[in-house]
Amino acid sequence: MKQGRIKLLPDHVANQIAAGEVVQRPASVVKELMENALDAGADDIKLIVKDGGKTLIQVVDNGEGMNELDARMAFERHATSKINSADDLFHLQTKGFRGEALASIAAVAHIEMKTKTAEAELGTYIKIEGSKVVKQEPIATPKGTSIAVKNLFYNIPARRKFLKSVQVEMRHINDEFFRLALAHPDISFSLIHNGNTVYHLPKSKLLQRISNLFGSKMPEKLVPVEESTDYVKIYGYTGKPEFAKLKRGEQFFFVNKRFIKSPYLNHAILTAYEGLIKDKAYPSYFIFFEIDTEHIDVNIHPTKTEIKFDDEQTVYAILKVAVKHSLGQFNLSPAIDFDTRPDLEIPYEYHKKPPVDPQIKVDPDFNPFKEDDFGQPAKVSPLKMSKKLAYFESLMHESSETANELAKDIQHQDPAFTGMDNQFDLVSFQLKQKYIVTRRDERLLLVHQNRAHINVLYHKLLAQLQKENIPSQQLIFPVELQLNPGEISSLREHRDKIIQMGFDLKFEKESVLVEGVPLQLQSQAVADIFQEILETLQYENPDKISNIDEQLALIIAEQSAVKTGQKLSEDEQQNLLKDLFELQQPRYTPTGKKVFISLEPESIDRKFDL
């Protein structure tokens, strides 16, 4: 018989492929191992990590353990003790159910496990390398399970190479640890990294757990949320509006104690804060949903951070009102007028009324790992992208005349506006305290004052930084920043850069004291600025350390620039224009926003049909 082309993959290859889905990075291993410990009924879980998980990830639990046979079975694909039939999928009470995690991890790492049940006298030791059991023997060990995963991706160099720095991998591990520790305050957890105990969390109530994780000042910044209906029970805490952060806050949703991401429900919360927080601010929240397992489907996402409710709109409506109530009850929001806001009645009559369609699109392809993982989309710095983007935008929205002009710009650095003697007409005035109107040669210029200033400050800061540290001014009243341990260590890590930027920092146990700020910095909002800096350091661009100057300069420039609505003297206008047109790139801000528009005489003529 002629041999066909189709062959079954050998097991170890199939396992490696499957591992790709489950094991993205050390943090995924952490999540799977800790979830297994929780499923095993442990009430004390230790996570021991070395080198951001690249060398070692070990989870020690005091759960039910495994007997000799199960210890071996556990590493087989689709081996699970958690479901017996497909029907069980609709009543899941456990975190795991696919029976894939251990098999996948075993395919791409070295594993050593010790485990013992309560009844057994001796436990089992098992050692596995690349899916193969290389050793198994009885061992004296306490009840429970200890699994050590070493040298992750040792047999897939391409993936090992793509692991990020220790700090970045540790940040992801930290995120997973936080999610599980928050979901289970009644269980004690510790996290030990390179021999240092980073967290030791005793069993406690939720608020205490939040405080242990985010710092002792955190509880004061929160109000409780509580709402019970037949369909869903909601509880937890949400942040007082005045503590909303400038960027991504501490935002957590848990459904039946499982952390989930939901842009849709996040939108419900943001709506509840409408009018209470600044446009760009993000409230913190720790929201728990308890819902009958019949109403949810957790099986839609390989890493299970997404969940489907059978009636998502109801959850949306109830959540929104619950949060609004809490904010209102604590006198934090303007009185809620139930007569004029029919949408607020929904939780009490939600079965009668169709809930209002919320205005948000949920991306069905949403993949939390996409941005920062293998096969990364080309990370073009927005600073460099901006011009092209503006060009394409202009092609879509503006006359081709502007597009052509921009096209020229992209090739030559704004020939019309750079390198010329800076001769303005010395005529300028402000329009709506937003634009500066002036003339240059024959052109009429409309300059966005805030963006112009951002552009100028940004480039000045960077130029200055090339030569020296940015000079610092001492604050008469140093500002104390209450930070969580993760934030403090992030600042420590980048301390030198931040000092070069002109900040003067003093580190204390649960806080950081800002004693000086860059000379240029006009803003009083030191705490806000640091919130932004932290967000940038922790999330936005953790790998582009080389770019951190640009990021910091941008934050300072944005905070210090003249704002819309600010009156400028004629001198101030002229100085700003002069500085702006000395730049190589006056036309766009570092983030690609248009700084000015110019009107040629011809196009003015055309408007007059001339």
Residues of the shown chain interacting with ligand ADP in the complex, contacts defined by CB under 6 A: 32, 36-37, 39-40, 61, 63-66, 74, 79-82, 96-103, 145
Q: Confirm or reject binding of residue 531 to Mg ion (CB under 5 A).
A: no
Q: How far is the CB of 352 from ligand ADP (least distance, A)?
A: 41
Distances (CA, A) of 80 to 97, 206, 245: 6, 31, 42
Q: Kindly state the smallest distance separating residue 104's Cβ from ligand ADP, in Å.
A: 8
Nearer CB in complex with ligand ADP: 77/203: 77
The item of Mg ion, ligand ADP, none sharing an interface with residue 174, based on CB under 5 to 8 Å by kind, is none
* Residue among 120, 95, 122, 127 at smallest CA distance from 31: 95
Shortest separation between residue 104's beta carbon and Mg ion, angstroms: 10
Phi, psi of 191 (to 5 degrees): -130, 120
Q: Measured at CB, which residue is nearest to ligand ADP?
A: 96
Cα separation of 72 and 200, whole Å? 31
For residue 539, CA distances in Å to 179, 186, 486 come to 16, 29, 12
Measured from the CB atom, is 29 or 255 closer to ligand ADP? 29
Triad 211, 217, 219: Cα angle to 5°: 55
Closest to ligand ADP by CB, 80 or 573: 80
Question: Of 101 and 501, which CB lies nearer to Mg ion in the complex structure?
Answer: 101
Tell me the pairing of strands 296-297 and 123-129. unpaired
- State whether residue 118 is helix, strand or coil: coil
Query: Distance between CA atoms of 113 and 125, rounded to whole angstroms?
Result: 6
Residue 37 interacts, among Mg ion, ligand ADP, none and using kind-specific CB cut-offs from 5 to 8 Å, with: ligand ADP
3-state secondary structure of 470: coil
Backbone angles phi, psi at 44, to 5 degrees: -145, 120
Per-residue mark of binding to Mg ion, 50-89 (x: CB under 5 A): ----------------------------------------
Phi, psi values for residue 596, rounded to 5°: -150, 160
Residue range at the interface with Mg ion (CB under 5 A); choices 91-99, 224-232, 296-304, 490-498: 91-99
- DSSP state string for 316-350: HHHHHHHHHHHHHHTT-SPPP-TTT-GGGGHHHHT
Choose among ligand ADP, Mg ion, none what residue 66 binds, the Cβ cut-off being 5 to 8 Å by kind: ligand ADP
Q: What is the x/- site pattern for Mg ion, positions 35-54, by CB under 5 A?
A: -x------------------
502, interface contact from Mg ion, ligand ADP, none, CB < 5-8 Å by kind? none
Residue 147 or 552 with smaller CB distance to ligand ADP: 147
Instruction: For the CB of residue 407, give the shortest distance to ligand ADP in the complex, in Å.
Output: 55
Burial classification of residue 4, based on how many CB atoms lie within 10 Å of its CB (0-12 exposed, 13-18 middle, 19 or more buried): exposed
Largest Cα separation within the chain, whole Å, is 99
Q: What is the DSSP string of 15-67?
A: HHHHHHHH-SSHHHHHHHHHHHHHHTT-SEEEEEEEGGGTSEEEEEE-S----
Write the interaction track for Mg ion spanning residues 95-124; mark x where CB under 5 A is met and - where it is not: -x----x-----------------------
Binding at 61: pick from Mg ion, ligand ADP, none (beta carbon under 5-8 Å per type): ligand ADP
Q: How far is the CB of 255 from Mg ion (least distance, A)?
A: 18
147 vs 452 by CB, closer to Mg ion:
147
By beta-carbon proximity to Mg ion, the closer residue of 35 and 414 is: 35
Residue 40 touches which member of Mg ion, ligand ADP, none, C-beta under 5-8 Å by kind = ligand ADP
Residue placing its CB nearer to ligand ADP in the complex, 41 or 415: 41
- Cβ 96 to ligand ADP shortest distance, Å: 2
- Extract the runs of DSSP E, i.e. beta strands, from 256-381: 258-260, 285-291, 296-297, 308-309
Nearer to ligand ADP, 126 or 521 (CB): 126
Where does residue 315 rank: exposed (0-12), middle (13-18), buried (19+ CB within 10 A)? buried
Nearest by Cα to 415 from 542, 163, 584, 255 = 584
Interacting residues toward Mg ion by CB under 5 A: 36, 96, 101
